[in-house]
């Protein structure tokens, strides 16, 4: 029973959280530290990463701040040289240009694909090598409900999030024999800086809340349980899958509840 009670503990493990400066990434970093991991908080905004690391240390955890730019392979390599092989990798950064496909410019498409897909690919390529050489680890990527369901204006974003699912399935297939697991988490609507333009419009915000079974948005801290689960021995036989944390968005059909 003692072993079962410690299934979710992460004592002695090193976690690299990319996108740790704010939102879901900051919550994930704090959650992993609370379960005993040493956390490397990485972000393109070093000041934001330092804020997250300082909060973790103030709460009794162990953390440090690092800068990384997923648009720059050399920056990722420099981070790898600095921290080495993590036991846990969590990556959250993504952007969206909300516009109809027929109105998209090449520059806008490049911005979304370069970060959401190519940046994630670069990061996983570099740290996947290190984790495989180390013979263990859990890689956790953030996809979205938009990998499964879409709406007008989500073409490029949805495409990159669907691609992220397949990227991590392939990582699972390729790195599994080396002891590395790879999974994705698909949030629904979460109150973060990325979704602030929707939050600022009450009718839009309410419509999204009503689409969920729980009739509300999530807070970033509500993604922590999924991160800790996939990072820990509690999920030791889980790889190549997607865990939806979406308030039931993808389970229920439509925004109208017919009479029963």
Least confident interval from 3-7, 32-36, 124-128, 233-237: 3-7
Per the structure, the complete domain to which residue 128 belongs is given by 2-190+217-245
pLDDT at residue 159 is higher than 80: yes
Give domain status of residue 130, yes or no: yes
Give domain status of residue 212, yes or no: no
CATH number for the domain including 22? 3.40.50.720
Angstrom distance (rounded) from CA 84 to CA 40: 11
- Region 47-73: mean pLDDT is 98
Return the exposure string of 43-65: e unless at least 16 CB atoms fall within 10 Å of the residue's CB, then b: bbeeebbbbbbebbeeeebebbb
Write down the pLDDT at residue 1. 56
Mean residue pLDDT across the chain: 96
The residue annotated as part of the active site, out of 157, 205, 229, 237, is 157
Angstrom distance (rounded) from CA 174 to CA 166: 12
Is 157 marked active-site? yes
Write down the pLDDT at residue 7. 96
Give domain status of residue 226, yes or no: yes
Question: Percentage of the chain with pLDDT > 90?
Answer: 94
Domain count along the chain: 1
Give domain status of residue 175, yes or no: yes
pLDDT at residue 2 is higher than 70: no
Give domain status of residue 256, yes or no: no
Write down the pLDDT at residue 253. 84
């Amino acid at each position: 029973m003692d072993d079962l009670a410690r299934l979710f503990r992460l004592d002695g493990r090193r976690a690299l959280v990319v996108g740790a400066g704010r939102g879901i990434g900051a919550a994930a970093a704090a959650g992993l530290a609370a379960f005993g991991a040493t956390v490397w908080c990485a972000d393109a905004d070093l000041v934001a990463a330092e804020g997250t690391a300082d909060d973790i240390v103030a709460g009794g955890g162990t953390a440090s701040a690092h800068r990384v730019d997923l648009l720059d392979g050399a920056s990722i390599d420099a981070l790898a040289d600095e921290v080495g092989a993590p036991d846990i990798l969590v990556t959250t950064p993504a952007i969206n240009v909300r516009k109809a496909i027929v109105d998209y410019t090449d520059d806008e498409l490049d911005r979304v694909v370069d970060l959401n897909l190519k940046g994630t690919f670069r990061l996983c390529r570099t740290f996947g090598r290190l984790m495989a050489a180390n013979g263990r680890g859990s890689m956790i990527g953030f996809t979205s409900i938009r990998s499964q369901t879409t709406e007008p204006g989500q073409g490029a974003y949805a495409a990159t999030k669907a691609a992220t699912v397949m990227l991590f399935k392939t990582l699972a297939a390729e790195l599994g024999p080396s002891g590395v697991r790879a999974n994705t988490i698909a949030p629904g609507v979460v109150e973060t800086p990325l979704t602030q333009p929707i939050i600022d419009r009450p009718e839009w915000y309410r419509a999204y809340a009503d689409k969920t079974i729980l009739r509300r948005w999530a807070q970033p801290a509500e993604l922590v349980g999924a991160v800790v689960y996939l990072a820990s021995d509690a999920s030791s036989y889980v790889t190549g899958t997607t865990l939806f944390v979406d308030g039931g968005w993808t389970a229920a059909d439509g925004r109208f509840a017919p009479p029963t």
